[in-house]
Amino acid sequence: MKKEIVQRINQLKKEKKAIILAHYYCNDEVQDIADYLGDSLALSQIAAKTDAEIIVFAGVHFMAETAKILAPSKKVLIPKEEAGCKMADMIDVISLMKYKKDNPNKKIICYVNTTAAVKALVDCCVTSTNALKIIKHYTDLGHDILYCPDKNLGSYAMNQFGSKFETWQGCCPIHDDVTQGDVLEAKKLHPKAIVVAHPECQNSVLELADYVGSTKQILAYVKESNALEFIVCTECGILHQMQKDCPDKKFYMPTTMLCEDMKLTYLEDVLECLEKESNEIILDKEIIQAAKKSLDKMLELS
Ligand code: CIZ
Ligand code: SF4
């Protein structure tokens, strides 16, 4: 059955000049049929460069929106329209506009895990791969900044640089729910394991980590490391690629760390989306233009 779905997807991809992009946090079966697998930024950059006419973005809404902003002339589809991001939902346009009015001198730096409308209001975007570098760029220039919406990544950056700035009080509940106790427990069970963590985790967890980085950076670190066992503190979907890259290494999670939104998409949904060309991402031209400025600024600084 699944085999037939894959065949049909491949046939439609050819007929319609379509490509499928999937995030590392997606269900394994979706990762396996993707033309490109990556983090949200790498995938959006692929979207911008491809000559495909249709892009099916298997991931959550903000990721597909980012692809649309960088590739506005392409048809960008998301298999499951309701796939959102709990962190992106923690900041909205009205609250951010009010903040800007009350703090007219702040430079506002925002994580890519935000809606296009929020990106349209900020000075620069960042991803987990380039956040430290870009935040440092602004603080070194003496700017007073707001980092939004992830308080954990914000305070991680402050700890790294010994600087102080304001952060929005948002977070990713999947990463934020892991406690230092959970990691200590996992370390007790696997004393030889190296701890790798995503900066969306609480700082008390990051303090225990041997390596902190984005999904892409964690994958590269684990591949190159001589260690054979790892405690992985990020969304569990990453294990699929890790196990493929390193079949002889062992990976443990401190808790389940599963993002339900990232797991909404199955092969059937990708097929239906391709067949019907449904759930197209439509954004206002003005929003695309303004949000693209913040993304371009990020690309310039990273
Ligand atoms: O930007 C991304 O793709 C996310 C959400 C995680 C990461 O670290 O790559
Ligand atoms: Fe959003 Fe967290 Fe899910 Fe990533 S893992 S999509 S940040 S809720």
Please name the residues in contact with 107: beta carbons below 8 A apart, sequence gap of 6 or more.
123, 124, 138, 143, 144, 145, 146
What H or E segment, with its residue span, contains residue 219?
Answer: helix 215-224
User: Residue 235 CA: which ligand is closest?
Assistant: 2
Q: What is the pLDDT of residue 1?
A: 82
Shortest-distance atom of ligand 2 to CA 88: 1
Shortest-distance atom of ligand 1 to CA 198: 8
Report the candidate in 104, 101, 60 with the shortest Cα–Cα distance to residue 83. 60
pLDDT per residue as tens, the chain (302 positions): 899 999 999 999 999 999 999 999 999 999 999 999 999 989 989 999 999 999 999 999 999 999 999 999 999 999 999 999 999 999 999 999 999 999 999 999 999 999 999 999 999 999 999 999 999 999 999 999 999 999 999 999 999 999 999 999 999 999 999 999 999 999 999 999 999 999 999 999 999 999 999 999 999 999 999 999 999 999 999 999 999 999 999 999 999 999 999 999 999 999 999 999 999 999 999 999 999 999 999 999 99
Among protein residues, the one whose CA lies closest to atom 1 of ligand 2:
85
Q: Is 236 in the pocket of ligand 2 (CB under 6 A)?
A: no
What H or E segment, with its residue span, contains residue 18?
Answer: strand 18-23
- Between the CA of 235 and the centroid of ligand 2 the distance, in Å, is 8
Please name the residues in contact with 216: beta carbons below 8 A apart, sequence gap of 6 or more.
24, 38, 39, 42, 129
Among protein residues, the one whose CA lies closest to atom 1 of ligand 1:
40
Q: Is 39 in the pocket of ligand 2 (CB under 6 A)?
A: no
Shortest-distance atom of ligand 1 to CA 127: 1
Residue 141, classified by CB atoms within 10 Å of its CB into exposed (0-12), middle (13-18) or buried (19+), is exposed
Among protein residues, the one whose CA lies closest to atom 7 of ligand 2:
172
**Phi-psi domain of 64 (left: phi exceeds 0; alpha: psi -120 through 50; beta: other):** alpha
Q: Is 52 helix (H, G, I), strand (E, B) or coil?
A: coil
- Distance, CA of 10 to CA of 116 (rounded, Å): 30
Report the candidate in 261, 286, 243 with the shortest Cα–Cα distance to residue 80. 261
Q: Is 150 in the pocket of ligand 1 (CB under 6 A)?
A: no
Shortest-distance atom of ligand 2 to CA 261: 3
Q: Is 90 in the pocket of ligand 2 (CB under 6 A)?
A: no
- Between the CA of 175 and the centroid of ligand 2 the distance, in Å, is 8
- Between the CA of 229 and the centroid of ligand 2 the distance, in Å, is 25
CB 227 within 8 A of CB 193: yes
Please name the residues in contact with 281: beta carbons below 8 A apart, sequence gap of 6 or more.
57, 64, 65, 67, 68, 76, 77, 78
CA distances to 32, 34, 43, 51, 261 from 16, in Å: 20, 16, 20, 12, 27
Q: Is 175 in the pocket of ligand 1 (CB under 6 A)?
A: no
Q: Is 87 in the pocket of ligand 2 (CB under 6 A)?
A: yes
Shortest-distance atom of ligand 2 to CA 25: 5
What are phi and psi for residue 81, nearest 5 degrees?
Answer: -60, -30
What is the rounded radius of gyration, in angstroms, for the C-alpha atoms of the chain? 19
Q: Is 282 helix (H, G, I), strand (E, B) or coil?
A: coil
CA distances to 98, 117, 241 from 94, in Å: 6, 10, 39
Beta strands in 107-188 (DSSP E): 107-111, 124-126, 145-148, 166-167
Q: Is 113 in the pocket of ligand 2 (CB under 6 A)?
A: yes
CB 272 within 8 A of CB 278: yes
User: Residue 129 CA: which ligand is closest?
Assistant: 1
